[in-house]
Amino acid sequence: MQFVKTKLLLSGLAIGLISSPVLAGMTDEINQSSYQREFKFLDADGNGKLSPAELKKDEVFDNGGFSKADKNHDGNLSEDEYTNYKSAVQQKEAKRIAKDSAITTKVKSKYLIEKNFRSFKVSVETKDGIVILSGFVNDEATKMRAAQIAASVQGVKSVKNGLVVKP
């Protein structure tokens, strides 16, 4: 039974990792036209350029995003500057999400392999390489072991162990 669980988990992980580049390519094509629509929507004065005031509606350009996107330093963004910057930011976020998802899957698969460990009672989430564990375990040793297993996965920066030992 344990072998079947492990094989299913590893198969799912492989399919997810293989399909990611294909989906990313399809997403680029879809985003091109959506970026153009967004640009036209934000271009309130219809001059073909976006001012900092027009970009206040797009949170991607908060915290210095406008100045990073304004490659020719003319105080406005062309459609290309807008599209290039927004695309780069979104691709970076998509990669982060994919990495976090892979970490979560690896941690869960290690839990399935671990003897005497009830992995279905433990929730695993990952954000920016930080693994967050929650749920219930039977004893303190299991709680500590869950954190050790999670920390052993490549790419994990830290583990926040919110597991609760059942009374």
Q: Which domains does the chain have, with CATH numbers?
A: 1-97 (1.10.238.10), 114-167 (3.30.1340.30)
Comparing 50 with 12, the larger pLDDT belongs to 50
Alpha-carbon distance 97 to 136, whole Å?
26
Confidence tier at 110 by pLDDT (50, 70, 90): very high
Statement: residue 12 has pLDDT above 60: no
Instruction: Name the pairing type of β-strands 130-137 and 158-165.
Output: parallel
The answer to whether residue 71 scores a pLDDT higher than 60 is yes
How confident is the model over 48-75, as a mean pLDDT? 90
Q: Which pTM was predicted? A: 0.67
Residue 136 · residue 108 · CB < 8 Å: no
| pLDDT band with cut points at 50, 70 and 90 for residue 16 | low
Percentage above 90 pLDDT, the chain:
56
Which of the two residues, 132 and 10, has the higher pLDDT score? 132
Give the contacts of 100 (CB within 8 A, at least 6 positions apart).
126, 127, 128, 129
Q: What is the mean pLDDT of the chain?
A: 84
Residues facing 131 on adjacent strands? 126, 159
Band (pLDDT 50/70/90 cuts) for residue 29 is low
